[in-house]
Amino acid sequence: MRKAFLVSPERSPELAKVVQVCEKRLQPGSLDVYVVRENVVNAYTFGLSKTKTIVLYEPMLRIMSRGELAFVLGHEMGHVSLGHTWLNTFIGGLAGSPSPFGIGYIMYLVFQRWSRACEYSCDRAGLLACGNLKLAVSALVRLAAPKIQTQAEFEQALTMIDAQDDAFVNQLAEMFQSHPMIIKRINALKEYAASPEYASLQANVDRNLQA
């Protein structure tokens, strides 16, 4: 990653504080966070060794608040904690292997479905990291519509996102995607945030922060 830099208190103190708080809340284990200087709004996690790597793209630092970044970082830390980094590599390799009778294609669809399920789980980790449903939803909206600048544009983007699952073609297309529709992720987060399980886990991560 020649265009990337390692997040540290010396290089990027504000972001390093957000990373530190998320790590204390979720306790994902050893990891490094890098920022890539490319005009992309995305984040991902990889690593087969003990120390995993989270990658953020630089534009996210401009368009997101600290709380929204905490959701994104917590989401990626969820991938680390749940073992998705090595499973992604293993299953992804199988799905891409040539196989007779369309088995490779079937594996691809199975992997995509598994990947979508992972995203829901990691959104929960993101919510636990930021501790605020409104910020979690806002982060997802900004990932889907990174150019929004005003509250009116935000509301317009949210309205468009809300209509995603109304079209059958979108439902069909989702079968081939690694991520669920944003509106489904938002609705799942709202349901989870209202659950006793979330209240209990949030109390635990709050205690981790105070320890």
pLDDT, tens digit only, all 211 positions of the chain:
668 999 999 999 999 999 999 999 999 999 999 999 999 999 999 888 888 999 999 999 999 999 999 999 999 999 999 888 776 655 544 444 444 445 566 777 777 777 888 899 999 999 999 999 999 999 999 998 878 888 888 888 888 877 766 665 666 666 666 678 888 999 999 999 999 999 999 998 888 777 6
DSSP bridge pairs for 55: 34, 44
| Residue that is written with structure tokens 């529709």 in the block | 181
Give domain limits for the chain: 4-210
Residue 83, Cβ neighbours under 10 Å: how many? 10
pLDDT of residue 174: 62
- By C-alpha distance, which of 135, 131, 147, 88 is closest to 112? 88
Element (H, E) at 34: strand 31-36
Amino acid at 26: L
pLDDT of residue 172: 60
pLDDT of residue 90: 58
- Measured in degrees and rounded to the nearest 5, phi and psi for residue 180 equal -70, 165
Distance between CA atoms of residues 163 and 158, nearest Å: 9
pLDDT of residue 97: 44
DSSP structure string for 89-157: HHHHHHHTS--GGGHHHHHHHHHHHHHHHHHHHHHHHHHHHH--HHHHHHHHHHHH-TT--SHHHHHHH
Structure tokens of 197? 């399980």
Is the pTM for the entire model greater than 0.95? Answer: no
| Residue that is written with structure tokens 């490094």 in the block | 32
DSSP bridge pairs for 56: 35, 43
Structure tokens of 67? 């709380």
